[in-house]
Amino acid sequence: MAQGVFTVSNTVKVPAQYTSLATAVAEVPSGSTLMLQPSDRPYEQVLINKNIKIVGGGFKEREAYNEIASSVDRIIVLPGGYQVELVNLKTAKLEINDFNASGNQDFGKVEIEYCQVNLLDLQVSDVSTFVLDMNVMNSLVPRFDMVSASTIGGSSIQFSNNVIGYLSGIKGGCTFVNNLFIPGNLNVRAFEGVEDVMLLDNIFYGTTGANKIGILTASGCVLKNNIAFQLEDKFTESSIDNTLEGNVDDTNPRFTAVRSSSSFVNMSLESNLSLEENSPALGTGYQGGDVGITGGAYPFVPSRRYAMPYIKSIKIDKPVIDQQQKVRVTIEAEYPSN
């Protein structure tokens, strides 16, 4: 079997080459792309141990595709230096885990775009052999945890233009640029126990009276041109081993329309997070760009549907293969309007 594009669907309404995502990942050649059909049932846990791209139909389930999404229970990326791309998916947990193994723990390159990852979990048992190049863009990440005994080296982890709830135990190798942090009711702080990370051009937006940046728990960090609003603590309370420049406390970024909600996801998707014309986030980034998720290299509008067409039916017009070895089919599909 040659590498190529393969379809996966666990619903009888839409036929596909595979009904199980785990089976598809195990059987397709390295370097293949899997198109994951939106479904009213989540796909099962999957282990990734090859070069692969998985493209779903979007994560905004309440409006897209008649209230269904391309949802996966759990995704585990294993070491082996693989190239992994995850696009337009929703998952309860994405885990990058060396499972306490010895030897070189090279996780290769992982790219995550237009996904909702409720928990991104990075487990590092040996920082001396751990290698990861990871980019997370235009996604919703309520929580990112790192379990590591010390600062990781030899890795590059960048979050650009995401909505993030909470960072826990992040130690080195990470840069956060043009993100929106919403601690909300669940996490209280935007981050806790972070060390040696860079935070540039982010907006920290409190929604309850108890929300905090978490600045007193940070050490060895670089924070530049970030804006904080409705938070108990301030950038100016930072310890002396952090580097701070151009950060602004107690300043409303002036989003176009913010929907108050106890749900991190609902607030992200149902608010208009573009900036008003008089926003203090416009043109005040550390390189002259805008602060927040609509600035930088990858502007993000969470309320927009980033998705592939929804295949409603496939009809074989003639059950005959012609002289060009082709079969004529009719595909009925719809694409999200926004």
Residue at 8 is within a domain: no
Residues of the domain holding 229 = 41-311
Residue at 26 is within a domain: no
Return the SS3 of 156. strand
Q: What pLDDT does residue 65 have?
A: 46
Residue at 52 is within a domain: yes
Residue at 19 is within a domain: no
Angle at 91 between CA 74 and CA 185, to 5 degrees: 115
How many residues comprise the chain? 338
Mean pLDDT confidence for 274-283: 96
Residue at 159 is within a domain: yes
Q: The tokens 């863009």 sit on which residue? A: 137
State the DSSP H helix or E strand holding residue 219, giving kind and residue range, or none if neither: none
Average pLDDT, the chain: 88
pTM: predicted TM-score of the whole model, two decimal places: 0.89
Query: Tens digit of pLDDT for each residue in 42-59?
Result: 999 999 999 999 999 877
Residue at 177 is within a domain: yes
Paired tokens of 64:
């897209």
Let me know: does 293 contact 300? Beta carbons within 8 Å: yes
Residue at 7 is within a domain: no
21 phi and psi, to 5 degrees?
-65, -40
Domain tally, the chain:
1
| Sequence-ordered list of residues with C-beta below 8 angstroms from that of 257, at least 6 positions apart, any chain | 271, 272
Indicate if the pLDDT at residue 66 is higher than 70. Answer: no
Residue at 324 is within a domain: no
Confidence of residue 261 (pLDDT cuts 50, 70, 90): confident
